[in-house]
Chain A
Amino acid sequence: MAATVVAPQVLSTSKRGHDSSAGSLLFLAALWLSLAMAIVFLMTLVVTTAVDGAGRFDSALITEYGSKLTPDTTGLRAALLGTLWLMVTTALLAIPIGIAAAVYLEEFADNTRWYNRLVELNLQNLAAIPSVIYGMLAVGIVALVGIQRTGIILVGAVALGLLILPVIIITTREAVRAVPREIREGSLALGATPLQTTWRQVLPSAIPGIATGTIIALSRAIGEAAPLLIVGVAVTVRFDPTGIMSAFTAMPIQIFNWTSESREEFKVAAAAAIIVLLGMVLLLNGLAIFIRNKFQRRW
């Protein structure tokens, strides 16, 4: 009895699959073509840049300061250290605030209240704001606190931190939301407080998702030049940053500066620096993928 019911269904679906197979093949081909085009462009860009910069993959690129006088040995030292300082400071500023905001919105906020709904609505919009605006915002904020010098690591980090905050909040909320309700209920039923439940169950379970989102956000911030230009980051720096109040330069700024030079040596150095920056971004993204795969949990 069951067989006679099932058989026509199998037949009819296979028939329908056959009918549209020409169309679906075409569609699939179009998708593959789009993908191939994207990859070809990307590869061309990377390869030509690498070829352009081939002459400068030397130790001087890393160990020397930028120099107008000796273009052959001009280097990224200040920019590399500056970017490192900048990223660490940005992470320290943005991650705790972003996680706290996300946990509040997801676990504690009463979303029938208008102010919580307003925050919800604006988070999505915030992620779409042009990055230059964050530079201006950072300058405004530090002026309010009374810091006069703006081209310092702290101010750059405030700008980039504000830039990635919405992304961190959104990805953290998704990671927190993915923790099943049963886990929360199990904890609360044992007499744990909501805060203990968040702290001991929800957050540890959400860490892989949070880490992945945060690293992706940082890898976006690392290549940002616009907000740093607004903040007034120096272009030629011939000393190592010593702290968050130190003036500095960063990778994208250094690259921007070299590409606007007319001498050929700087163009080569810029190409080499782009590959270094690209390597840093790939490293961060690789780390994110590693964390996601290693700690992925199926409920």
Chain B
Amino acid sequence: MGPNTATTAKPGSVDDQSVDAPLLEPQVDNQRDLPPEPSGVMECEDLNVYYGDFHAVHDVNLIFGRHEITALIGPSGCGKTTVLRCLNRMNDLVAGARVAGRVAYHGADIYDSKVDAIEVRRRIGMVFQKPNPFPKSIYDNVAYGPRVIGMEVDDLDSHVEGALRDAALWDEVKDKLKQSAFGLSGGQQQRLCIARTIATKPDVILMDEPCSSLDPIATSHIEDLMVDLREQYTIIIVTHNMQQAARVSDRTAFFTARPDETTGNRTGLLVEFDQTKTIFSNPSDRRTEAYISGRFG
């Protein structure tokens, strides 16, 4: 039980968004024709996560579609980050974290004892909430991944350039590749982190509230970028911002936290998972509807 739990009891953070969240008026820009069922690259079956004795996430079942953007939304503390970090075994690094259930990547359980977590993370990359460039040059930040995983590239320079172009950062940094990444703005740093991730050519990219520390212009850069990257990658994004989910995602999973009667601990659970346009225009669960419309339930 972290301090988070106490604050999540009040839907304060949701109120901010309810101001401009139109009442069930879907602003889904991203109207693609999708198959009704995603063709799964990754899949969670009855995923349960515990931090010590604390049951953080209960029975999550999700399928993440290939070349789709799946958004995980919900009030803070409902376990979005926890679920995301299970998808590339980053939770292995948290002392006391325990995962039950199945997380499949192309049908294979990534928590199988024969599977190497390092290998998993090479296929399933991650971009964090706060931009975390390495204290190295811009070039070395991008080249780091290919170097450590021993990737065979014909020409590292053009590989780095390609990753920076894909991350829509090349034009801004091409003259200062040897300078420290710390000199970049927050939005540029986050795009650098995306470039760094795609330089290792992962299959899936996980993003945990990648715009939460960025201004609106930087945010819209990253959102455009995500839509571009969807052509090549499967993207799973946690976001606090419903407009963002509506703008970029193909499918949306809505989570909430349910307090335990006896202990008062709040366990996260998946309420509804559907195409984004359905979630935003015609949700089937009252709690989803209340959250989308700003009346938090």
Are chains A and B native binding partners rather than an unrelated pairing? yes
Surface stretch bound by A, among B41-49, B142-150, B224-232: B142-150
Which residue, A180, A200, A297, has most C-beta atoms of chain B within 10 A? A200
Q: Given A183-B134, A186-B193, A200-B144: A191 and B118 within 8 A (CB)?
A: yes
Rounded to whole Å, the gap between the CB of B92 and the closest CB of chain A is 9
Rounded to whole Å, the gap between the CB of B91 and the closest CB of chain A is 11
**Do B128 and A182 touch (CB < 8 A)?**
yes
B93 within 8 A of A: yes
Q: Provide the B116-154 mask, 1 if CB < 8 A to any CB of A, else 0.
A: 001101100110101011110000000011001100000
Chain A residues with CB below 8 A from B196, complex form: 186, 190
**Do B149 and A191 touch (CB < 8 A)?**
yes
Q: Given A191-B118, A191-B200: A186 and B132 within 8 A (CB)?
A: yes
B188 within 8 A of A: no
B90 within 8 A of A: yes
A185 within 8 A of B: yes
Rounded to whole Å, the gap between the CB of B137 and the closest CB of chain A is 13
Contact of A191 among B93, B128, B133, B145 (CB under 8 A): B145
Residue in B closest to A297 when the chains form the complex, CB atoms: B135
**Do B90 and A189 touch (CB < 8 A)?**
yes
**Do A187 and B90 touch (CB < 8 A)?**
no
Chain B contact residues (Cβ within 8 angstroms of A): what range?
20 to 34
Residue in B closest to A110 when the chains form the complex, CB atoms: B95
- What's the dominant secondary structure at chain A's contact region? helix
**Do A189 and B126 touch (CB < 8 A)?**
yes
Chain A residues with CB below 8 A from B130, complex form: 182
B244 within 8 A of A: no
Q: Complex formed: what's the CA distance from A205 to B134 in Å? A: 9
Which residue, A186, A187, A204, A297, has most C-beta atoms of chain B within 10 A? A186
**Do A185 and B135 touch (CB < 8 A)?**
no
**Do B135 and A205 touch (CB < 8 A)?**
yes
B88 within 8 A of A: yes
Residue in B closest to A200 when the chains form the complex, CB atoms: B148
B197 within 8 A of A: yes
Residue in A closest to B117 when the chains form the complex, CB atoms: A188
Q: Complex formed: what's the CA distance from A188 to B93 in Å? A: 10
**Do B132 and A185 touch (CB < 8 A)?**
yes
Chain A contact residues (Cβ within 8 angstroms of B): what range?
10 to 19
How many A-B pairs fall under 8 Å by CB? 64
**Do A190 and B125 touch (CB < 8 A)?**
yes
Contact of A188 among B121, B133, B135, B193 (CB under 8 A): B121
Rounded to whole Å, the gap between the CB of B207 and the closest CB of chain A is 11
**Do B132 and A183 touch (CB < 8 A)?**
yes
Chain B residues with CB below 8 A from A183, complex form: 132, 134-135
Chain B residues with CB below 8 A from A186, complex form: 128, 132-134, 193, 196
Interface residues of A in 108-127 (CB under 8 A from B): none
Chain B residues with CB below 8 A from A182, complex form: 128, 130, 132
Chain B residues with CB below 8 A from A193, complex form: 118, 148
**Do B135 and A189 touch (CB < 8 A)?**
no
Q: Complex formed: what's the CA distance from A192 to B93 in Å? A: 13
Residue in B closest to A201 when the chains form the complex, CB atoms: B134
Interface residues of A in 153-197 (CB under 8 A from B): 180, 182-193, 196
Chain A residues with CB below 8 A from B200, complex form: 190-191
Contact of B90 among A188, A200, A204, A297 (CB under 8 A): A188
Contact of A185 among B93, B118, B144, B145 (CB under 8 A): B93
Residue in B closest to A299 when the chains form the complex, CB atoms: B135
Rounded to whole Å, the gap between the CB of B166 and the closest CB of chain A is 16
Contact of A192 among B90, B126, B128, B148 (CB under 8 A): B148
Rounded to whole Å, the gap between the CB of A108 and the closest CB of chain B is 13
Q: Complex formed: what's the CA distance from A263 to B49 in Å? A: 80
Residue in B closest to A186 when the chains form the complex, CB atoms: B132
Residue in B closest to A197 when the chains form the complex, CB atoms: B148
Rounded to whole Å, the gap between the CB of B84 and the closest CB of chain A is 11
Rounded to whole Å, the gap between the CB of A200 and the closest CB of chain B is 7
**Do A191 and B132 touch (CB < 8 A)?**
no
Q: Complex formed: what's the CA distance from A205 to B132 in Å? A: 14
Q: Complex formed: what's the CA distance from A47 to B220 in Å? A: 67
Q: Complex formed: what's the CA distance from A190 to B122 in Å? A: 6
Residue in B closest to A199 when the chains form the complex, CB atoms: B148
Q: Provide the A197-216 mask, 1 if CB < 8 A to any CB of B, else 0.
A: 00011001100000000000
Chain A residues with CB below 8 A from B119, complex form: 191
Rounded to whole Å, the gap between the CB of A185 and the closest CB of chain B is 7
Chain B residues with CB below 8 A from A196, complex form: 148
Chain A residues with CB below 8 A from B125, complex form: 189-191
Q: Complex formed: what's the CA distance from A205 to B135 in Å? A: 8
Q: Complex formed: what's the CA distance from A191 to B147 in Å? A: 10
Which residue, B88, B90, B135, has most C-beta atoms of chain A within 10 A? B135
Q: Complex formed: what's the CA distance from A297 to B93 in Å? A: 25
Q: Complex formed: what's the CA distance from A151 to B259 in Å? A: 71
10 further A-B pairs in the complex, CB-CB below 8 A; given A200-B144, A205-B135: A183-B135, A184-B93, A187-B134, A187-B148, A188-B90, A189-B121, A190-B197, A192-B118, A192-B148, A192-B149
Closest 4 CB pairs of A and B: A191-B122, A182-B132, A189-B126, A190-B145
Could you list some 5 contacts between A and B, CB below 8 A?
A183-B135, A186-B133, A188-B93, A190-B145, A192-B149
